[in-house]
Structure 1
């Protein structure tokens, strides 16, 4: 076997697809079902850029690196779009994301972001919206302005992941569900991967696409990410008139809170709404009540709307909210810590890992060169420190 991939989410599936298309013999091992984790349970938003604003990236890395990261972000969105079209993935692909300011002072930040993108990057597809314009777009009066991304996308996340899986299978990748990896060994000739079901894979290269489910499989990098749970709910079908009054034109929406709210309407007129987090391994019992409270803070007119489905998913964040790419030695590649920007970035990560294994990838080296910080105290103390920080910023969201 040329490459063994661990993890059946976007990172692993995209890696398997692009490696198989390049002629590599690929085996992918997934502990549960394909897309069982956050790849099948997220809000479906495919935003441009990175998780941090371009202003932040210029301060962190300088304008040249920030510009390269901006182009990589656009490439990631285009890659998602091209995969959907090329492999005819039925995932309700739609265009447009509206970012909205939950505080008045943040509206000016959105206006500055649009100007920065136009002046420094020649990008004119982001448009600032006034408070009145946002109210007209959303049928809610709680926001103070916004930034509309015309090139951003949103989609049905599980169907998208399963579509990539089918494409990878057709390209020749072998995909094994129910194959939880317990350990692996690396030597001068390759890597041997051991699964709890008795499977053993011998390969020249290894890809770690585990993200929030990495655990202690690879302690050298596990301290750089923090797994957290995020919650979503879907209302009963609202009817076309009500759905259109909540979100104009099927665009997706994200607010500016530290623990953000994000939503869109589905093809069958449900409101798909995400919001709230927890930092323990187990999910809370009543996710529907947690999310419904957040919905009513924006749309009190939905007080009588039933919640048909509610669920949670585990993602991984980094301290600086930028993804963590890299290699361990010359055989093991990884990418994780997408911090809520996973659909485009993880899809691109898989492609870049495949390029790096087959030859060389300048964009993989770009991401791998970004300085990273482990959580203080590593995996032992990151949880209490992170919870304290999250509680502090979520308190600021409310006041």
Structure 2
């Protein structure tokens, strides 16, 4: 992490409404542990908590604050499965791989709910999420989506067509919708802060403001920070889009991408219920999708768009507000109180990258916009692997991952060109 990067949470709605917690010290001198986790987001804290529950001595290193990256900035939606669904996995990688990944596709959601219940985490959990179709082709896609998930044992889905959509969304944009009654939405920063506190209650240690400046492989692995070093028997690399420069092998097959979110002033109860009558989260079916939901205090949180390469936009509100008004023109006079961006990590095949750099360094990254649930699964699978049960982790680790075409120089324009092509098809309904 370079010196000019911020080390405090961005000025988001989540940071403004975060549950109180400690500012943790940075590393000073030499620290020794069984496992060192790099990155205090969902992946890292999920792994750390599972490992601490197994009785391991675990240290977490965070370059900024717990939940600083995508884990504390995202849309807060509990969406099942992966960024590429089982039909694509089956077609590209075969039935055996699809069966293995399909058996875990709905597990991350359950892990989150178990954590909230087990540790009493206050993170505004609400039920249900909606996939909204903008045209007839997307509605047909939702029918296929429902059949696919049912084939993998997930039957908590309900298809709405035509005017029935307005039961869930007060917008005329949509021709149909698929409700996942097992989905939901949360305050993501409070979720990761709550799990961090749970980890610490079991004896785990988190160091903030402690970027890894050098990783020296060996037994033990040595992780150097500005204030000292950590020596660990095993390491988990979980920095995702915020770990440039630590391990070049993890950078060549992924690309940081930015997404933008705005949050309105609080809405009165009648307006909020007119927008989302049953308080579910929504995402549309476009390639560059819009996603939105109500917060606990009845603000509309609305996100969308992707900036390839993770560049910050000059005005987030100028980009997102027109999208919000296209969906809800009745909010023309609404005030926006917060606007922020954050990076997620994209892979070429849109599937997460799990693996080992050697016998004692593990990694999980690249959720491609589907990170809230899958990152929690990743943490559990890493902990399973470290206790000798690696079959489920290896189902992901065996997926082939290719570099982006054009290398580091051209991957951004190539990806943007592809996104333009698919978003044009969305607009034309083809």
* 1:296-375 alignment, distance < 5 Å: 296-375=325-404
* 1:160-179 alignment, distance < 5 Å: 160-179=191-210
Which residue in the other structure is 1:155 paired with? 186
* 1:343 Cα offset (Å): 1.0
Which residue in the other structure is 1:134 paired with? 165
TM-score normalised by the chain length of structure 1: 0.96
* Cα pair 1:101 1:143 within 8 Å, conserved: yes
SS of 2:101's equivalent in the other structure is: helix
CA deviation map 1:227-285 (0-9, x unaligned): 01100111111111111111121111000111110011112111111112213454123
2:66 pairs with 1:34: yes
Aligned partners of 2:286 and 2:149: how far apart in 1? 22
Which residue in the other structure is 2:78 paired with? 46
* 1:208-223 alignment, distance < 5 Å: 208-223=237-252
* Cα pair 2:82 2:367 within 8 Å, conserved: no
Which residue in the other structure is 2:122 paired with? 90
Aligned partners of 1:121 and 1:208: how far apart in 2? 31
Aligned partners of 2:252 and 2:60: how far apart in 1? 24
Aligned partners of 1:287 and 1:232: how far apart in 2? 7
Aligned partners of 2:149 and 2:69: how far apart in 1? 34
* 1:203 Cα offset (Å): 0.7
* Cα pair 2:168 2:280 within 8 Å, conserved: no
SS of 1:73's equivalent in the other structure is: coil
* 1:216 Cα offset (Å): 2.7
TM-score normalised by the chain length of structure 2: 0.89
- Decide which moves more: 75-84 or 377-386: 377-386
2:224 pairs with 1:194: yes
Aligned partners of 2:229 and 2:410: how far apart in 1? 33
SS of 1:237's equivalent in the other structure is: coil
Aligned partners of 2:364 and 2:188: how far apart in 1? 19
* 1:398 Cα offset (Å): 3.5
* 1:116 Cα offset (Å): 3.0
Which residue in the other structure is 2:94 paired with? 62
SS of 1:8's equivalent in the other structure is: coil
RMSD of equivalent CA atoms: 1.5
SS of 1:223's equivalent in the other structure is: coil
Which residue in the other structure is 1:266 paired with? 295
Question: Pick from 297, 319, 329: which aligns with 1:290?
Answer: 319
SS of 1:204's equivalent in the other structure is: strand
* Cα pair 2:255 2:309 within 8 Å, conserved: no
Which residue in the other structure is 2:10 paired with? none
* 1:60 Cα offset (Å): 2.1
* 1:350 Cα offset (Å): 1.1
* 1:75 Cα offset (Å): 1.3
* Cα pair 1:222 1:379 within 8 Å, conserved: no
SS of 1:49's equivalent in the other structure is: coil
Question: Pick from 18, 27, 38: which aligns with 1:6?
Answer: 38
CA deviation map 1:30-70 (0-9, x unaligned): 11111011100000011112222232222123334323222
* 1:10-25 alignment, distance < 5 Å: 10-25=42-57
Question: Pick from 253, 277, 281: which aligns with 1:248?
Answer: 277
* Cα pair 2:81 2:374 within 8 Å, conserved: no
Gaps of 5+ in 1: none
Aligned partners of 2:115 and 2:389: how far apart in 1? 22
As a proportion of its length, which structure holds more helix? 1
Aligned partners of 1:299 and 1:380: how far apart in 2? 39
* 1:72 Cα offset (Å): 0.7
Which residue in the other structure is 1:145 paired with? 176
* Cα pair 1:54 1:113 within 8 Å, conserved: no
Change (3 A) 1:339 1:367: same
* 1:213 Cα offset (Å): 1.2
